[in-house]
Amino acid sequence: MIRINLLPTEKKKTRVELGTERLLRLSGLALLLLLAVMGLLWYRLDAKVDDLSAQKRQLQQRMDALKVQVKEVDRYEKDLKIFKEKIAIVERLRRNQSIPVRILDDISSSLPDGVWLSALKVGSGGEVAVEGYAFTNADIVAFAGQLKASRFLKDVTIVESKEAEVEKIPVFQFKIRCQVSV
């Protein structure tokens, strides 16, 4: 009797089918490897972004602290400048403190008999105006000459000398201007 096998038989795979199957497996493996590499790269880049963000926060905090220090330094420099200006003013006042005393001493020691003063004004520019009375013009000229000999007064000029009367006594009223030399 003849036997007929109706069951499907296993068919041997051809080389083309084997190559295609191998290619699909290799492609799948390559795809998995590619996904693993991309996942690793993503993880490393994400970690790097986190590190850079943390570094940025630290640098921002440091910059804020430095801004506070810069403000303190600016305030200190401003205070130092004001302090130096005040010290300079005090030193200038200390140097010029004795000038009025010297002026009065020079004027009073230069004052001859027969001359008396009615006004003495010292201007801010160092200009001194002396007004007074004398019995004669020679006394006024002698007074101006002695003022010229002073080491603290310069440019002594008789501005005006005119006849006047004080308590019915004839006198000469005068005005002298000079500069303080420090």
> Mean pLDDT in runs of 10 for the chain (182 residues)?
72 66 89 95 95 95 94 95 94 78 82 88 84 91 88 86 88 90 71
The DSSP letter of residue 126 is S
Tokens of 122: 């010292």
Query: Alpha-carbon distance 20 to 99, whole Å?
Result: 115
Burial 81-119 (b: 16+ CB within 10 A, else e): eeeeeeeeeeeeeeeeeeeeeebeebbeebbeebbebee
Q: Which helix (H) or strand (E) holds 72?
A: helix 15-96
- The distance of Cα 106 from the centroid of its chain, to the nearest Å, equals 44
Task: Spell out the domains of the chain, with CATH numbers in brackets.
Answer: 99-180 (3.30.1360.100)
Q: What is the pLDDT of residue 39?
A: 96
Q: What is the pLDDT of residue 151?
A: 81
pTM, full prediction: 0.50
The structure tokens 């310069």 sit at 154
Q: What is the pLDDT of residue 152?
A: 80
Q: What is the pLDDT of residue 14?
A: 62
